[in-house]
Amino acid sequence: MARKFLRKLLPHPDVVTKNRWIKLLGPRLQDPSLWHINRRSFPLAVALGIFCAFIPVPFQMLLAAVVAIWWRVNILVAVPMVWISNPFTMGPMYYFCYLLGAKMLGLEPGRFHFELTFDWLLSGLAAIWEPFLLGCFTVGLITSVASFVLVRILWHLHILSHIKARARRIHNRHRHAAQKR
């Protein structure tokens, strides 16, 4: 049931592989494991996408796609998971990562004024890069492991509920057949 629902949401692999930018990734895109939704590929793809969302670099989606190909996990799940970090969430996410990194290093979080300019990246980021990157790595690792475990548990629970529902249907069928006799 969940697999059918996800297949409806995700684009068909042919649509993706015919994209001129995606074609640059080459023949490795023909690997069927990149397009399957199963208990191995799906949780790993979610965890990969979430981890990449916390990497403070441009082109996070390309990074997620390349690693998804390398790990042979579902690329259609890994890439959209990166969208957790978007223009609305990036500020709070990365500020929290900086605060956590500063706390881990025993530093007093400094006050700074962020500007989206190249000059600020050279001067402002130079002062906070250590706690910022440590926080990003830590939060990315924790959230990706937690998401992997959560998705595996939810997948398992879904399978169990499906098995129980099938057993109930079979039991009801046998009981109904016995009543007709």
Query: Quick one: 95 exposed, middle or buried, by C-beta within 10 A (0-12, 13-18, 19+)?
Result: middle
73: left (phi over 0), alpha (psi -120 to 50) or beta: beta
Q: What is the pLDDT of residues 132-167, one digit of tens each?
A: 999 999 999 999 999 999 999 999 999 999 899 888
Sign, CA torsion 86/141/32/42: negative
Query: What are the sequence ranges of the domains in the chain?
Result: 2-180
Within 13 Å, how many C-alpha atoms sit on residue 99's CB side? 7
pLDDT number for residue 137: 97
pLDDT digits over 39-97, tens only? Answer: 889 999 999 999 999 998 888 988 998 899 999 899 889 999 999 998 899 889 988 99
Q: What is the pLDDT of residue 25?
A: 66
